[in-house]
Amino acid sequence: MAVGDNNIYGWSLSSVGDIQASYASTTGDVGSPGSFVIDPCPTGACCIEGACTETTQGDCIGVYDGLYQGDGTTCDTITCPEPVTGQMRITEYMSKGSGGEFIEFTNLGAEPVDMTGWSYDDESGIPGTLDLGGFGIVAPGESVILAEDPAATFESDWSLADVTIVGDLTVNLGGSDVIHLYDASDTLVDRLSYQEDEGPSQCDPGEAEERGVFRAIRKVFASFYNDNAFLERLRYGVNEDDVGMAVLVHHSFPDEIEMANGVATFDRGGAYSTQALLVTQLGAVSVANPEGGAIPEEVNVHLYPTSMFAEILRYSSLVLLGDTVLTYHVHNFFGTQTLAMWTIRSI
């Protein structure tokens, strides 16, 4: 599994042949205990608690909580501040495996970490509950395993070699639990919370199944043909042969790196004119349910066969006075002026 947030929604479910080279144990569980692979497509240097790694801006900020040094930068030319804690991180776990549960810790730093005095606890969060000193000194890039089964059994089940395993875990994980990792000074180094009991859906534990994009498309299209939608079109005299629906599907972005978000609605005023209302906001602040009374930007775009122009109806309360969330540039195509819009802000 890739390093994620401090809750399960930021993590990836193991599957055979994924980026972590996950495989099936003799008991049928799928995972990759004992090894961890960092994103193979770095784009810049990232300082993480004193250590430097080259990764994407999104992973640096949203996953590692690091300081991104810019696209194209390398660790050879960057000097990061000295770390205040070790670089051990929770990188994989299994709470309901047929062969017993386990937790994997990986040293993501550039220096060895002596785990003498380090400890683990579950949701009670008490430093010193279970001593991890048995891992000894963990080299950079090395992964170690805390297992419920005896070390020899776990090693055999997963066909491991040269991986340090501390077995006979007694502070066991539940279906909904928290993993705490403490260093020798009882400082919390990493934390992961997860919830599995209520339902298999990671987006909404109350759902009986995962809510994928295809399920979402089906629900959207179904809303177009339900009784209320049909009666509304009948009420306004809309010919069923003249209506349709389009669904835009795109990648979602973590809130930490989202530049802007919004909603666009179109109104066809006739055969030769269309109006588009763009309601946008800076970053990931919702335009429908804003926090703290934030006001979104509203722009009315008028589209005609030979031209288009934008009319700013309201400015966002999250940008400087007179500034806009979106920028607007006029371009000439085939002798006519058209308007292109895109976001250029970073947060």
pLDDT at residue 332, as a whole number: 45
CA distance 113 to 139: 7
Q: Tens digit of pLDDT for each residue in 79-96?
A: 776 554 458 899 999 887
- What are φ and ψ of residue 152, in 5° steps? -65, -40
Mean pLDDT to the nearest integer, 215-220: 67
79 and 179 part of one domain: yes
89 and 185 part of one domain: yes
Residue with tokens 């763009």: 278
270 and 143 part of one domain: no
186 and 279 part of one domain: no
Q: Are 184 and 131 in contact (CB under 8 A)?
A: no
185 and 58 part of one domain: yes
150 and 266 part of one domain: no
CA distance 154 to 139: 21
Among 173, 195, 217, where does a domain finish? 195
Residue 121 within a domain: yes
pLDDT bin (cut points 50, 70, 90) of residue 341 is very low
Higher pLDDT, 296 or 334: 296
List the domain range (segments joined by +) for residue 303: 258-343
Instruction: Please determine, for residue 342, whether its predicted confidence score (pLDDT) is greater than 60.
Output: no
Token couple for 129: 């509950």
Residue 230 within a domain: no
pLDDT at residue 159, as a whole number: 92
CA distance 191 to 182: 9
184 and 276 part of one domain: no
Number of compact structural domains in the chain: 2
Instruction: Please determine, for residue 116, whether its predicted confidence score (pLDDT) is greater than 90.
Output: yes
Percentage of residues in the chain having pLDDT higher than 70: 78
Higher pLDDT, 18 or 128: 128
174 and 262 part of one domain: no
Residue 216 within a domain: no
Instruction: Please determine, for residue 338, whether its predicted confidence score (pLDDT) is greater than 50.
Output: no
Instruction: Please determine, for residue 216, whether its predicted confidence score (pLDDT) is greater than 80.
Output: no
Residue 112 within a domain: yes
CA distance 40 to 56: 10
Q: Is 92 left (phi over 0), alpha (psi -120 to 50) or beta?
A: beta
164 and 39 part of one domain: yes
SS3 for the chain, per residue? CCCCCCEHHHCCCCCCCCCCCCEECCCCCEECCCCCCCCCCCCEEEEECCEEEEECHHHHHHHCCCEEEEECCCCCCCCCCCCCCCCEEEEEEECCCCCCCEEEEEECCCCCEECCCCEEECCCCCCCCEECHHHCEECCCCEEEEECCCHHHHHHHCCCCCCCEECCCCCCCCCEEEEEEECCCCCEEEEEEEECCCCCCCCCCCCCCCCCHHHHHHHHHHHHCCHHHHHHHHHCCCCHHHCCCCCCCCCCCCCCCCCEEEEEEEEEEECCEEEEEEEEEECCCCCCCCHHHCCCEEEEEEECCCCEEEEEEECCCCCCCCCCCEEEEEEEECCEEEEEEEECCCC
Q: Tens digit of pLDDT for each residue in 269-312?
A: 777 788 889 999 988 888 877 777 889 999 988 888 777 778 88
Adjacent-strand bridge partners of 128: none
pLDDT at residue 82, as a whole number: 58
Residue 151 within a domain: yes
pLDDT at residue 86, as a whole number: 54
Among 149, 170, 195, where does a domain finish? 195
151 and 269 part of one domain: no
168 and 270 part of one domain: no
At a CB cut-off of 8 Å and minimum separation 6, what does 93 contact?
Answer: 101, 102, 103, 104, 173, 179, 192, 194
Mean pLDDT to the nearest integer, 159-172: 89
Among 178, 195, 212, where does a domain finish? 195
Q: Tens digit of pLDDT for each residue in 35-65?
A: 877 655 556 888 777 788 888 776 776 677 7
Residue 123 within a domain: yes
pLDDT at residue 215, as a whole number: 60
pLDDT at residue 1, as a whole number: 37
Which range, of 233-237, 288-292, 325-329, 341-345, averages the lowest pLDDT?
341-345
Distance between first and last Cα of the chain: 28
Instruction: Please determine, for residue 346, whether its predicted confidence score (pLDDT) is greater than 50.
Output: no
170 and 306 part of one domain: no
Residue 298 has, within 13 A of its CA and on its CB side, a CA count of: 9
pLDDT at residue 160, as a whole number: 92
